[in-house]
Structures are given as C-alpha cells and as structure tokens.
Structure 1
Amino acid sequence: MKLNKKFVYASIASILAISPMLPAVMPSNTEVLAAKTDTLTLNHNSYVYTAQGKRTYYNGKGTLRMGTTVNGNAKTTSINGKSYYPLTSGVYVKAANVDVVNKQVQDGNLELNYNSYVYDKNGKRLYKFRGSKKNTHLRKGTPLKYSGSVEKIDRNSKQYFLVNDDNYNQSWLPYKKIGGKYYYNIGAGGYVNAANVGQIDNKPLYTTDVSVKVNTTSAIRVGTGKERTSIKPGEKVKVDRVSQVLSGPSYRASYRISGTKTGFFATSIVNKKPRQQLLNYTYYTYVSASKNTDAYDANGQARSNLTAINGATTSFAKGTFIPVDEVLYIWNNKENKAELYYHLAPNTTVSDISLQTINKDSMTFVKAADSKFVSGPLLKPVNTVNEAKTDAKAATETDKQDLQKAINQDEKVKASENYQQYRHETYDAALAYAKQINSSNTASLQEVKQITLTLKNQQNSWFLPADELKVNSMLALTRPL
C-alpha cells in the first residue's frame, strides 16, 4: 500500500512533539563533548594505532613527527601488553613516545635549558636526526627521551648529578665523555651536550664546578689569610658552591672559588649564571622547619622563649632555616617515649636576633620530624633509644664530674686573647646554664651530658690559633640560599 506523504510527515511531527516522554540519547553525546581534553607532546616520531594495535591515521597522517602536540587522554591504556595514550578521534599513540602531558614533563626525559645541536657518538654534529634535519637543532625547554636509567652514586663523584629526595645523597644519568665534554644519549644515535641540560626526571641537574666570568671595573679582593687573592675584571673563575655570606650588616648570595674555603664573591658581579645548579655550602648543617614548630630543652619539653606566629605560640615559622650541630634521641618521661631531635648550633652561627633569643644558652633543640635537611654535613644520631631512656634519670654528683671540670676551665678561657677579642655572650650564657645544672638536684643525666659537651666545644674554640678561629668564625656565618 502506498503511504500518503502528508500522513508520514504528520506522524513524524507527532513523534517529535512527544519526544520528551521518550528515552533521550543526547546526554551521552553531551558528555563526550564536555569531557576533559589533555595535551600530549611527542618526543619521537610516532605511528598511530587502532584499539587493536593496528597502524592507522590521525587527521590524515599515519606518522606524527617528534615535537607534535595532539589532544587526547592523560590516562594510559594497555593494548597487546603495551601502554598507549588515547587520542580524541579514537586512535592511539605509544606512551613511550610521549614526553609532556598537559605541559608537565614525564619521567624518563631530560629537559634542555639552552638551544642545543644533536651529535653522534664521536661528538660530531648530525645533519639529520629521527628522519628530519629540523630535529638536529633543538630549542631551549625541549624535553627529550633519554637512553639508560638513573643510578645511585657516591656523593660528589660525578661532574653532573641529581640530588635524591633526602636532599643529600646523589644519583646520575650515565653520560659519555667525548673530547673533554659530556654528552647524554637520547637514542637513535643522537647525543646532546650535558651542559645544555637543566633537568632530568623533573629534578634540577647539578654540576660539581663551573667557570663564571666576573663583570667588574676593577680588581676585587676575596678570601681570608693564605687564601687571600684578587680577581681581575673580565676574569673567568671556576666556582664549586653557592652560599649566603655575611657582608656588613646583611647577607649576600655568593659563589665560592673551587679549592678554597673562604674565596667567596657576590653572584651579582657575574655576567651569566651557570646553566646547572651548584650545591649549597654551609659550615654547619642547616635544616628547614617543615611546619610552625616549637623549641625544646634537653628533656624534650617545650621551652618558654617562644614567639607568636600567625596567632599560634611557636618558635620557628615554617620554612625557617635552622643551624644545627648534632642529632640525638631524647627520652620524654611524660610521654614515655624517645624522639629524634636536632641540637641548635651556637649563636655565633647566626645574625638573626630571633634565633639568638631562642638559643641564648646553646641548649635548644628542634624535633627532626618537624624539619628537613637543607645543607651541610649529614648528621647521624650520637645515641640510641635505650641510651636516651637511661639518660632521662636524675644525674648524680659522680655524673657531674666532667661538667665540674669544664666549669673550672672558666678562668683560663677568660684570660685567653681570643675570648677578649671576639664576642663571648654565647659562651657566657652557656657557662651560666652549666652552673645552674651543676647545682641542681633534679637535672637529668641528658642535661648534664649535653651542657658539658656544649661548654667544652665552645671552650676549645677559644684556644684555636687566631687565624683558624677567624676563618671558622667567618664560615660559621654562611647559610643556604
């Protein structure tokens, strides 16, 4: 039977009119359109694949060139046991060929901090790399998939290295030395100069030392004692560390001349900063407060010399650099447990008035759990938990014999030329605290041991040769950038 066209059109119109009562299919399409689109950047020429792992096309191209950015999904999927990123048109690229996801460089890549050519294994420039001449001259900021893997190394044993998460131990990505220069392997027979690399696995690349050019109109004098020397205008100087050094009433960022202790000069007089980072130098170990935290005494009790910070009563604001010289367990009798603490270095290490007030007698501690290592020597606990528990008992007169001997050295110390020439408020405060502990019937063995050690260390410094004391006093004031 032949249908009347008018009847058909009328029937369609009726269906459309009642469509809100029927199951809707539009929301699924709307969800697809509203789904978050991620950006993926390729570090390798890459084929395009179907969900079955067969080669196909994306926007008419079967191969996407190195450096191409495409839209897709940042969550990988597995096809035939290999990892792939989905693209928006239902195709896929190998995850191994993607180095940047949503502008974040992925692990397994190094990132250039300087425009760089690509070289062969003999250090000769390549004129074609991964199928294109364009790939032989790479721009600053370009991430590149590297060959090999990052490995742990002995500290300060390599020219280029990474600092581990503990901020002390080191790792490296093996490099190849060619004609006095260092190169990283980026696969396909290509190498890039390590001096042009800024990051590996999103961690800054460090160098043992580097040459910088001084930009001054006249020679400058640097160093102390036998290390005293001059640097001429325009001279290239090899440096190995950075630090903040006290200069007059304030600190200034400084480089240290390689092979010296005191050869510091301001970073501001250097034409160009090094491409890689240099390690911090500090005479004392520095930790950083990981949160607003209190100061404690030798028994693990909060000290009363506190400061109000953001409405809370605490001693150290989050991020404060704190100089320390010892790490030990302290037993807390009230809580019946031991915790690890850092002992603050003497006040001669700082010009910060707040720190001087908190640690006036050099008997202040901060919890290791509330801080993290920044720079300087890596400290190891000087005692055990069991030893800390034993030292929490009240000290006897026999326990105080070494303390009394240290107190008896006072006249000799005050007669020394060094004591009379240098600031001695820190020593005087420690001595007063020592006498207080020595006369107390309730002082713990831990308090006695700690103030004895503190007092002896300060006394020993007064009997150093004048030149050595001068150098140590200068270095003690270095702090991290």
Structure 2
Amino acid sequence: MQKNKFILGLAAALVLTTSSMLLPSNNAQAAQKETIHVNYSSIYDSKGQFLKSYPGVESTTDVKNATFTTNGKIKKINHKFCYSIGKGGYLPISDVVSLNNLGTLNLSKNTRVYNKYGKKLTYFAGQSASLKKGMPVNYAGKVKPLKNADGKKYFLLNKDYTFSYLPYRKIQGQYYYSLGHGGYIKASNVGMIDQLQVCVHSVTARADKNQSVFDDHGKITKEVLKSGQKITLDRYADTPELLGHSEDGDDDSCFYRIRGTNKFVILETDEVSGNLLPFTRFMHVRATQDANEYDNLGRIFVRHFNEVVKQGTTNNSNPSATVTAGSATQAQTVAKTETPQIKQGEDVAVTRELYLWVPAEQKAELFYELRDNDYASDITRLFIKASDFKYNNFGPQLKPENTVASAKEANNGLASTSDKKSLGDLIAQAPTIEASDKYRLSNERSSYDYYLKQAKQVYDSDIATPEDVSQALTGLQDAQNKLNGAKVVVQDLQHITAQEADKIVTLVYTSIQGKYIGKIPQVTFNQDRTELDLIDNGVKQKLNITDYAEQAK
C-alpha cells in the first residue's frame, strides 16, 4: 500500500565512538565514502534515464538486494534526489534501507535535529540540522524485543508479528530518538527503523466527505460519517484481510477500524498520519521450509499451461513438451508444467484446517486451505500441509473441522453428476436473484457474489468431492437466504419526509457498495426532496427515486 516516491535523503554515517555524523553535501571536500543498501531500486544516468548497464548488476531497471558505495554526494535529477554511486550511475535516496551497515531509520516527515533540551539546532556535526522526508539516518542505541507493545508509545512490528522497540527519550513532552553526539529527532517523524514500520496505538483523522461505515466483514452499514467528522482509528486492514479477496481500485486505500468498535471506514492511505497495527479475520502461517501446494484430493498441485515462444526456442523446463507449428510470426506454443511452491519464511493466510487423505502416503494429514489462490482458473481450492508451517502470531487460530478417521473414510472420493444436481439448480437461480430488489438493495450482496463464484467453480470442477459440493451448496444457500434488500416504504412519493429521505440515501449507499472502493460519492436530495442525485468527482447523476422507494399501499 505504500507508494514509491523519489525524495531527498540523508547520507549519514554514524559511528558510536569518536567519529562525527556526516550529512549529505554537494561540497566535494565534505563528501566521504559510505555504503548503502537497497532492496529494490533502479539505476539512472545524470539525465534521469535508465543507465544502459552497470558493473555487477544484471538489470539497471530492476535492482534487487544490492549494496553500493557512494561518496555521499546528492544530485537532483528531474526532481528526484539521488546518490552518486560512480560509473555514471545514480540511485534514488528514498530507496536506501541501510546506511553503512548500521542501524538505520527513515524519516516520514521533514524534521530538525534537536539537542537534549528539546531546542532546534541550526547545525549538527558541522552541517545543516534540517533533514528532509525520506532521508535514511543512522541511530544510536539498540533495538530491543517486547513481549507486548501496550506500554510503549512507539514500537516496531516484526515480520513474525512480534514486537520490538528502539528506546526513546521524553523531552519537553515530546518523544525523541537519539542520533548520538547530543542529537535527537522526533520519534513522530520516523516511519521505518531497520526496514520495520514504527507503529502507534491510535491516530486521529477527519472524514473529508460523507463516509460509509462498514462492519468487520467489509459489509456496508446504515451508519454514515459526516464530512469533517473527527474519528480515532486503532487498526488498518487491507481489503483481503477484511473481505477475504481483493477488489479493483483498492491499491491506494484500505479499511481503518474506529477505536473501541468493530466498525471500519475506507480512507486513502496518505490521509492517515502514523502506522497502525494490522487487523485480519484470517489465520496467518509462515512456511518453515519450501512447501508444496496440494489439491483437495491430497495430491501435489502441478500446473499445466501453454506458453507462446519464438520459433526454435528450446523448452528447457520440459524438453519432451508438445510443440505446435509456428504461425507466420514465427511463434510456437509449448506445453509446460510447473509445481508452485511457497518459499521458506513466506506468510500466507488460511481459511480452514482439516484432515485430507494423501494417496501417495496412504494416510490422513492435517492441511490448511489457502485463502488466496493465484491459479483459480486451474483449480478451485488449494491446500498446504500444516507440518510445513507454523502460526505467525496474526489472526484467530483455527481448529480441525474433521478427524483422521473421517478423512480416511471419505478418502476424498469424487462427486458424481447426481451429487451436483442440487448445486446446479441453485446456481441456475442466479440471474433471477441478481435482478431482484432483494439482491440489488442488500448489504449482503458481496457475500452472495463470493459464494456464487465458489459454487460455480465447484460445479465445473472435475476433482470436486461430495464434501466440496455440500459446502458450496450450503454456502450459496445461506448467502441467498441472507439477501435482505427492500425498497423504503414512504407515505407519499410526492412529499417525502426528511426521515424517509435519510433512509433512501442510506439505501443508495448500500446499493453501490463495492463499486467505489476508496472514493465513496455523495448522495443527496434537493431542497424539496423531489430529486435524488449521486455526485461522483463533481459529476452529477440523477437517480430514479422509485428504484429505492415505494409508496405505502
């Protein structure tokens, strides 16, 4: 959710003994050799174009996990501030995650260096004490582990969802991190420490327009925040962590929980100042080794696919592949296979814990079902062995929903056509359901869409088991039964009351749920409540009142 920005940075080398702290300078005499490390970056020339080549780098447009030496000089190139790394190459300062192999923090705001009395300094270590957003700076002290973060104002969230913190000092009511040599910077202006987010327990924000409020499953409620209303937030949730799947248009926004509630609002990430702890409805596990993915029959998942390559290209991954004759463009289609794996240390979300019979081992083993499936067009569901993963301290822990004995008895038999008949009949009702007010005006619409998609995948799958069919049928039937859409009943359509108008506006918001992720439009009546408008980015669209209201009989 973070955007990559090219921002002026700090070339600071701090040795916690007798050396002085070096700040970036265009003065050649002040420049000294420093080591910088990037996880992801690109190398540019002095005109801001991608450098054609650089020693030791395979691709200058896709530099990964690399270390360079710089003289500390900064050059502004096409509004981007970069380090000179020699050989005509320049790296954006904002991409630097480590400086001189020492502990490094990155500034989230412009800041000044202060002394131990909380007074702003004009100069520090012989150079300007005014530091710009994005600068990497070496800190003094050591990061320490935490059992929990309740007693800390600022703390770090580790990759395994445990906590740590860099000791800070309170000066004149403000919290500061030490740079050593009597220099301090405000902790509130630091975004990252050693590539970990600096978190706080809550932040305040204001709704910049009327904001819909969602429940903890991402479903719209009747509550609406008024423009300018102040709210306190204590958690954030990326869309998949709340809905269970991604939505188009959610790259720059996410859900934020209102403190003390299970209610959420959608805000642009740059509208919220401060990093909050994440929220999820799903158990997360981390791979303890490279791990295979499995289908619902307990077999290692092997993906089969076709790839179009140039005529004559050798198929190294599958030498025995079938090759289709090339077209006039000298292309050929090569049949390939791959066995996807989850790499050691990778974090994944899971939705179920159950035993599956593994034919290759002739025994039942405990599996997790993956929430996210990158191969949905090839297979309905994917599973991972529980023994290859450990709980990652994030999300509610699951329990097995069956036993070894029941998995052995079921033996993952395949569903027959007759097994799927009831599911097919229910799927066939979808066009009628989707055209109804019960669906169109329901706040359970996204749930129905999700279970309908799952049901169709199970119905079309040639490896679905009776259990798969049963669960798909139950899920879709329950979702259909929960559809609760209905028009607002008013006493007189020609004289709608203010209270009736509020109900109609809320219903319109319900009907557009999921269509405006991150940019909820304004819905409003005119003064005499005879016209209903939807205003999206300044564009007004007239709505038919009778699509949302009906007169009492």
TM-score normalised by length of structure 1: 0.51
Contact 2:350 2:368 in 1 (8 A): yes
SS at match of 1:265: strand
Aligned to 1:147, which of 132, 141, 144?
Answer: 141
> Does the alignment pair 1:197 with 2:218?
no
Contact 1:327 1:380 in 2 (8 A): yes
> Does the alignment pair 1:342 with 2:368?
yes
Change (3 A) 1:114 1:432: closer
CA distance in 2, matches of 1:464, 1:179: 56
SS at match of 1:199: strand
Alignment of 1:9-158 (within 5 A): 42-44=13-15, 46-47=17-18, 64-67=19-22, 70=32, 104-119=99-114, 124-125=118-119, 127=121, 134=127, 137-140=130-133, 141-154=135-148, 158=152
Alpha-carbon shift at residue 300 of structure 1 (Å)? 1.6
Once the two structures are superposed, residues 283-324 of structure 1 have per-residue CA deviations (whole angstroms, 9 ceiling, x without a partner) of 445789999997533342146885557964358698999763
Alpha-carbon shift at residue 117 of structure 1 (Å)? 2.7
Specify the alignment match of 1:256 in structure 2: 255
- Letter of the structure 2 residue corresponding to residue 365 of structure 1: F
Once the two structures are superposed, residues 29-78 of structure 1 have per-residue CA deviations (whole angstroms, 9 ceiling, x without a partner) of xxxxxxxxxxx96415754xxxxxxxxxxxxxxxx42227655999xxxx
Structure label with greater radius of gyration: 1
Aligned to 1:222, which of 212, 226, 247?
Answer: 212
Q: Unaligned regions of 5+ residues in structure 2, if any?
A: 1-10, 24-30, 37-95, 214-219, 308-316, 318-334, 412-418, 440-447, 486-508, 518-553
- Letter of the structure 1 residue corresponding to residue 379 of structure 2: I
CA distance in 1, matches of 2:263, 2:479: 18
Change (3 A) 1:376 1:201: closer
Specify the alignment match of 2:337 in structure 1: 313
Once the two structures are superposed, residues 408-437 of structure 1 have per-residue CA deviations (whole angstroms, 9 ceiling, x without a partner) of 9x99xx99x99973443534766899x985
SS at match of 1:106: coil
CA distance in 1, matches of 2:472, 2:152: 37
Change (3 A) 1:336 1:169: farther
Alignment of 1:44-443 (within 5 A): 44=15, 46-47=17-18, 64-67=19-22, 70=32, 104-119=99-114, 124-125=118-119, 127=121, 134=127, 137-140=130-133, 141-154=135-148, 158-166=152-160, 168-176=161-169, 181-187=174-180, 190-211=183-204, 219-223=209-213, 224-232=220-228, 239=233, 240-241=235-236, 243-244=238-239, 250-259=249-258, 261-267=263-269, 270=270, 274=273, 277-279=275-277, 283-284=281-282, 296-302=294-300, 307=305, 312-314=336-338, 324-328=350-354, 330=356, 332-335=358-361, 341-345=367-371, 355=376, 358-359=379-380, 363-366=381-384, 377=395, 379-380=397-398, 382=400, 388=404, 390-395=405-410, 421=439, 422-423=448-449, 424-427=452-455, 437=465
Q: Unaligned regions of 5+ residues in structure 1, if any?
A: 1-39, 48-63, 75-100, 397-403, 439-447
Change (3 A) 1:73 1:155: closer
Once the two structures are superposed, residues 358-403 of structure 1 have per-residue CA deviations (whole angstroms, 9 ceiling, x without a partner) of 22xxx5424568899999725456389xx64x4552349xxxxxxx
Change (3 A) 1:429 1:165: closer
- Letter of the structure 1 residue corresponding to residue 14 of structure 2: N
Change (3 A) 1:156 1:283: farther
CA distance in 1, matches of 2:239, 2:232: 18
Instruction: Give aligned pairs, total.
Output: 350
CA distance in 2, matches of 1:207, 1:378: 22
TM-score normalised by length of structure 2: 0.46
Once the two structures are superposed, residues 92-113 of structure 1 have per-residue CA deviations (whole angstroms, 9 ceiling, x without a partner) of xxxxxxxxx9964535443434
Alpha-carbon shift at residue 278 of structure 1 (Å)? 4.6
Once the two structures are superposed, residues 307-357 of structure 1 have per-residue CA deviations (whole angstroms, 9 ceiling, x without a partner) of 557964358698999763124564524135776643144xxx99x8x5266
- Letter of the structure 2 residue corresponding to residue 332 of structure 1: V
Alpha-carbon shift at residue 151 of structure 1 (Å)? 1.4
- Letter of the structure 2 residue corresponding to residue 301 of structure 1: R
Contact 1:285 1:376 in 2 (8 A): yes
CA distance in 2, matches of 1:308, 1:172: 49
Once the two structures are superposed, residues 176-215 of structure 1 have per-residue CA deviations (whole angstroms, 9 ceiling, x without a partner) of 456664333445555321121132223333344445677x
CA distance in 1, matches of 2:159, 2:469: 34
Contact 1:111 1:199 in 2 (8 A): yes
Contact 1:295 1:314 in 2 (8 A): no
- Letter of the structure 2 residue corresponding to residue 192 of structure 1: I
CA distance in 2, matches of 1:373, 1:380: 10
SS at match of 1:231: coil
- Letter of the structure 1 residue corresponding to residue 166 of structure 2: L
- Letter of the structure 2 residue corresponding to residue 170 of structure 1: F
Specify the alignment match of 1:32 in structure 2: none
Once the two structures are superposed, residues 229-254 of structure 1 have per-residue CA deviations (whole angstroms, 9 ceiling, x without a partner) of 2335xx77655425348998654431
Contact 1:177 1:183 in 2 (8 A): yes
SS at match of 1:393: helix
Once the two structures are superposed, residues 423-455 of structure 1 have per-residue CA deviations (whole angstroms, 9 ceiling, x without a partner) of 43534766899x9855xxxxxxxxx5x776776
Contact 1:281 1:375 in 2 (8 A): no
CA distance in 1, matches of 2:201, 2:254: 13
Alpha-carbon shift at residue 160 of structure 1 (Å)? 3.1
CA distance in 2, matches of 1:163, 1:125: 30
SS at match of 1:65: coil
Change (3 A) 1:151 1:291: closer
CA distance in 2, matches of 1:247, 1:393: 35
Alpha-carbon shift at residue 264 of structure 1 (Å)? 0.9
- Letter of the structure 1 residue corresponding to residue 185 of structure 2: V
Contact 2:302 2:340 in 1 (8 A): no
